[in-house]
Every structure is written in structure tokens, then in C-alpha cells.
A and B are shown apart, each in its own frame.
Chain A
């Protein structure tokens, strides 16, 4: 996989093993750190790109957002490696693996339009995207939402 140094990515893979990680061995990889240790690590981080190997699993939503804000402030690009479809909304670029091969790659919002492919691959859709697509189908909405507060606000007001 080719990483462009000025972009942030989410890599979605349901089999993140050492063989898969081998391709990123030249990069600093962060894993198994809680929020406080992670924040400390980033504050003194010297590289321009950071890889999170399933690190987001240990964080609450607001902690994830704070970590990403910190990275943006420090001009560090990030690559989030995860199996959680909800995490794909944290970057504009998405790469999806299945059985060690890239099966989908590109702009996150564009890829999320491929509802059938994502469900067939077993990843599904983030809840808020899934719900808004279904509401589009029922003619309640004509747009896709990427966060629950905005969807709730527009739905009930």
C-alpha cells in the first residue's frame, strides 16, 4: 500500500496480524496504549507520520477526537489501523483490506456509498451512515449524515 505523506488514512482490516503489519515496518507504530500514555507519547513525537495499530479500540470517542486534534496541531499525519467500521469517519482517506488484499480504496465518503459492497465484505456501515441511508430510502431525508447529533437535530426539528 502506498502512503502519501500529507494525507490521513483509516485502514480497515479484520485480520491485523504481524504478516499484515510487515509492510509498515519502516514507520513508528503505536499500539496498546491508553489515553494518558498516548497523549504523552504524541506530545514528544518526532516523526511526521504516526500509525495506530488498533489503538483506538482502547479510547472513548471524545479521547479519539482529542488525540486527532493534537496530531493536527502538531502537523503529524496519522494512519489508523482498525477493524471497527465506526472509526472510518476519522479520516478522509479509506483503504479496506480483505484476505490481505486491498478491495476498496479512496475518499471515505465515496466508499461509504458502496453500501452493498461493504455489507458483503462483512464490515457493514457506520451506524449513523446506515441509519441516514435507510431514512433516505423512506424519503425522510435526502442527505447522508456522519455524526449522530446533526442527524438527530435535523430529524426532529
Chain B
């Protein structure tokens, strides 16, 4: 199945990568230190078994292992991540794709798609059920909770207030202030 885009968002039931029984040291082998530093993984945890790591650390290790793949598929990468972590990795994803690599984010949290992906697919049993280029597509709500800022803009529209597709709180606030004053 050919998915179009550089950073692609996918809504799909998919199995998370599991390296149970292996230590971080044994999972990330190619340019280990460089890769783990790039994903901000604490190098003091090199001898810890995969199953004993937090979700955030597991996802960092999985990304470090795949950093040099031509197509990097990450399942539920946002699990365990804070907003500031997501922002860091979104910037990193853009940097990675500038080296000709493709990133596929199969995720339950649409916040990671915001300001990041150029195409979103809904996939079921290896079939594309729906595709769109924007997270502001209301039809996606059937499959995933939309980012809170998108939900707010959609609810405002239901009240007859049309707001632009803001993705930052500061921009949204300025728009509200303009309307209210």
C-alpha cells in the first residue's frame, strides 16, 4: 500500500513494537550513542531491559533503532509523551524527512498530527477507508478524538462563529480578542 507524504498520520489498530528480553544496548546497535542522544535517551539506561522502560523511553529506543531506515513506522509513539516532548519530536521528524526519509505515525493521539503530518489515512484491515490532508477535517472525528484546539474551533462554528484553522493557542486568543472587542 503506497501512502503519500513525508510525515504521514495513520489511524489504525496496529501492534506496538516489542523487544522484550533485550537490553537497550542490544536493540540499538547502529551508531548507538549518536542515535540515542538524538532521541534524548538517557545513556545511563543502556543496560535496562526493554520491558522495564517507561512508554516514553520505549518509544525513544524504537525511534533510535529505526533512525536510519528509509521508512520509519512508529506505532503509538505519543504514548507516555508530554506536549513538550511531542513538540521536540515533531521538529526532529521534519529534520529526518529532510534527509529523504519517510515517517509513518500510527497513533491514538491526534495532537501529534497537528502541525506535523502532510497526509492522514484511516486504515482498516490493510484497506484505506479514508484519507485527508488536514486534521481540521471533521469526518476524522468518527475515528479519533481531534486535537482540543480543533474541537474548540469546530464547536465555535456550531455557534455561528467562524475562526481560521489556528493551531497555536496564542493565535487563537488574538482572534477571540478581536471578535470580542
Residue ranges of A at the interface with B (Cβ–Cβ < 8 Å): 14-20, 34, 54, 57-58, 60-61, 83-86, 122-124, 126-128, 130-131, 134-135, 138, 140, 148-149, 151-153, 155-157
Stretch at the interface among B2-10, B48-56, B89-97, B98-106: B48-56
Name the prevailing secondary structure of the B interface residues: helix
Please count how many residues in chain B sit with their CB below 8 Å of the partner chain's CB atoms. 36
Give the Cβ gap from B170 to chain A, nearest Cβ, in Å. 9
Q: A18-B51, A58-B108, A135-B176 are in contact. List 20 more A-B contacts (CB 8 A).
A: A16-B54, A17-B53, A18-B52, A83-B56, A86-B148, A122-B82, A122-B84, A126-B148, A128-B152, A131-B173, A138-B173, A148-B151, A148-B155, A152-B152, A152-B155, A152-B156, A155-B176, A156-B160, A156-B161, A157-B159
Residue ranges of B at the interface with A (Cβ–Cβ < 8 Å): 13, 51-57, 76, 79-85, 108-109, 144-145, 148-149, 151-152, 155-156, 158-161, 169, 172-173, 176-177, 180
Contact B169 A131 (CB under 8 A): yes
Contact B55 A54 (CB under 8 A): yes
A54-B55, A134-B173, A149-B155 known; A127 vs B80 contact (CB < 8 Å) = no
Complex Cα gap A79–B109 (Å): 21
Count contacts between A and B, CB distance < 8 Å.
90
Contact A17 B144 (CB under 8 A): no
Contact B156 A57 (CB under 8 A): no
Give the Cβ gap from A21 to chain B, nearest Cβ, in Å. 10
Complex Cα gap A86–B13 (Å): 22
Contact A140 B176 (CB under 8 A): yes
Give the Cβ gap from A56 to chain B, nearest Cβ, in Å. 10
- Specify which chain B residues have a CB less than 8 angstroms from the CB of A19 in the assembled complex: 52
Complex Cα gap A118–B180 (Å): 29
- Specify which chain B residues have a CB less than 8 angstroms from the CB of A134 in the assembled complex: 169, 173
Complex Cα gap A15–B148 (Å): 24
Name the prevailing secondary structure of the A interface residues: helix
Complex Cα gap A19–B13 (Å): 29
Contact A156 B54 (CB under 8 A): no
A140-B180, A152-B156 known; A135 vs B173 contact (CB < 8 Å) = yes
- Specify which chain B residues have a CB less than 8 angstroms from the CB of A124 in the assembled complex: 82-84
Partner of A15, one of B56, B79, B152: B56
Among A17, A124, A134, A140, the one with the most B-chain Cβ atoms within 10 Å of its Cβ is A17
Complex Cα gap A130–B108 (Å): 23
Contact A14 B82 (CB under 8 A): yes
Contact B160 A148 (CB under 8 A): no
A127-B149, A130-B169, A156-B160 known; A15 vs B57 contact (CB < 8 Å) = yes
Contact A54 B169 (CB under 8 A): no
Contact B159 A153 (CB under 8 A): yes
- Specify which chain A residues have a CB less than 8 angstroms from the CB of B76 in the assembled complex: 57
Complex Cα gap A87–B79 (Å): 13
Partner of A57, one of B53, B108, B148, B177: B108
Complex Cα gap A86–B108 (Å): 14
Complex Cα gap A156–B76 (Å): 36
- Specify which chain B residues have a CB less than 8 angstroms from the CB of A140 in the assembled complex: 176-177, 180
A54-B79, A148-B148, A148-B151 known; A15 vs B54 contact (CB < 8 Å) = yes
